[in-house]
Amino acid sequence: MTDRTKVQPVILCGGSGTRLWPLSRAGFPKQFLCLSGEESLFQQAAKRLMSLGTESIHVANPLVVTGEEHRFLALEQLREVDIDWYAALLEPVGRNTAPALTLAGLAALESGDDPILVVTPADQTVIDSAAFMQAMHAAILEATEGSIVILGIKPDRPETGYGYINSKIEASKPTMTVQRFVEKPNAATAQQYLEQGGYYWNAGMFILKASVWLQALQAFRPDILGATIQAWAQRTTDVNPATPFVRPGRAEFQAIPSESVDYAVMEHCPGSAFPIQMVPLEAGWSDLGAWDAVWHVLPKDKYGNAHQGDVLTSNSRNTLVHATSRLVGLVGVENIIVVETADAVLVTDKAHSQDVKHIVNQLQASQREEQTLHRKVHRPWGWYDSIDQGGRFKVKRIQVNPGASLSLQKHYHRAEHWIVVKGTAEITNGSRVLLLTENQSTYIPLGEMHRLANPGTIPLEVIEVQSGDYLGEDDIVRFEDHYGRSKE
């Protein structure tokens, strides 16, 4: 029996998804959202890749390339779908996809093998899993021969938001030969591509040997390869085997030129020493790049309305409503999108959904928290929801996962009252350690060292009432933390 082909899944889990604001935010970007189905886009991507194993294909646990701020969110979401990762490669700053894939290639070669990298963004959706698997298996087979393989989506409309791949059928191959890559076209050109045929949307999924990627990068962008190797040489790895976080050298990584996989390598491959093939994919794919794309993939009523949450409508057509925390009503409107969250509401014409990023730019320029965080903020120990705030007070609802704890900390500007509403709390309050249960409470004076922990087997819920002259999240001095954080 021949050896099984070794496949190393690589999930590129960066990006902020600004065009899906207010649901997608810098602290909780779109790949972690449940936009289609009951699992996040990141979870869907991981499960699709892990399902590729056969008698002849061995699939390793995924390599996840993400940012420092999202590491525990990614870890928790994989845990929810019973997937362990091989490692998380933490980018100290964003440098686009070419350095990210290079980190993954260097990590994959560490074992001494030269696996097939199956690379996918974390923020896409696929409706037909069987068709996806069939296309991926064809791509993996071609990649074992040394080819670079990409997946191309057969277009069903003249889309101007995607780059295109021009490919031709080869009689002797199950794949198609890539002739050229085309930038995002205008509407007339996109219509021409659709009518002419031979043009496919670039899905940003790549299948190739780890060594082939590094060789191609050396040929076309040796500056990126050299700088990434230097950052990789200065890497550090967490000692805790349960959270294998790998951090390339910060200064060295910041010096890497920022470039995409396409611009750095793929667009140079046609006609070069690095053959590039394409496998067509017809599987209900979408990158959900804006709210109009979300409308396309969601189920709709007979009037073309796609609604999630508590929504009532009258005489409305072709609308999308995502209601998170309250009732939304539509009367006599067409082709609009409404996204409601606890602290922000978006209303846009469907034709202008790509322009939501301009609102995000305004939020960023004015340094408003709505660009970065939701009212409900996820932490490695659980989450908190800031449910009310006024002069000199703030009220939070806090949930701590079983066995988890907040850091040992103190505040210079606020005191806190904690009331247990569910579960059991172990509370360090100065020199005392208290065990409190439902309806019991304690007071944390200003400047007192304290910690909240959940020693139980069910989630702990606490209502926290803060009072003081400054209630910002940066008023914290941390003395001990299980998660290696410098601040909350």
Report pLDDT digits (tens) over 272-303: 999 899 999 999 999 888 999 999 989 999 99
What is the reported pLDDT for 6? 95
CA distance 210 to 118: 10
- In-domain check, residue 485: no
Q: Please compute the mean of the pLDDT values over residues 412-432 and round it to a whole number.
A: 96
What is the reported pLDDT for 487? 47
Mean pLDDT of the chain: 92
75-86 confidence digits (pLDDT tens): 889 989 999 888
Residue after which a domain boundary falls, among 218, 248, 281:
281
The three-point CA angle 331-332-334 to 5° equals 115
What is the reported pLDDT for 488? 44
* 419 CA to centre of own chain: 34
Same domain as 349, residue 329 = yes
Tell me: pLDDT of 1 over 80: no
- In-domain check, residue 370: no
When pLDDT is cut at 50, 70 and 90, the band that residue 15 belongs to is confident
Residue after which a domain boundary falls, among 281, 302, 328:
281
Beta bridge partners of 207: 118, 149
Same domain as 307, residue 270 = no
Q: Please compute the mean of the pLDDT values over residues 199-226 and round it to a whole number.
A: 96
What is the reported pLDDT for 380? 86
Answer whether 0.75 is exceeded by the pTM: yes
- CATH for 118: 3.90.550.10
39-69 confidence digits (pLDDT tens): 999 999 999 999 999 999 999 999 999 998 8
When pLDDT is cut at 50, 70 and 90, the band that residue 242 belongs to is low
Residue after which a domain boundary falls, among 256, 281, 306:
281
Q: Higher model confidence: residue 304 or residue 373?
A: 304
Instruction: Convert 113-152 to b/e letters by CB count within 10 Å (16 or more is b).
Output: ebbbbbbbbbbbbbeeeebbbebbbbbbbbbeeebbbbbb
Domain that includes residue 391, residue range: 376-480
Same domain as 308, residue 409 = no
144-163 confidence digits (pLDDT tens): 999 999 999 999 888 888 89
Same domain as 265, residue 314 = no
Q: Please compute the mean of the pLDDT values over residues 334-357 and round it to a whole number.
A: 95
Q: How many domains does the chain have?
A: 3
Same domain as 354, residue 330 = yes
- In-domain check, residue 169: yes
Within 8 A by CB and 6+ apart from 31, the residues are 13, 15, 17, 40, 41, 42, 45, 121, 122, 123
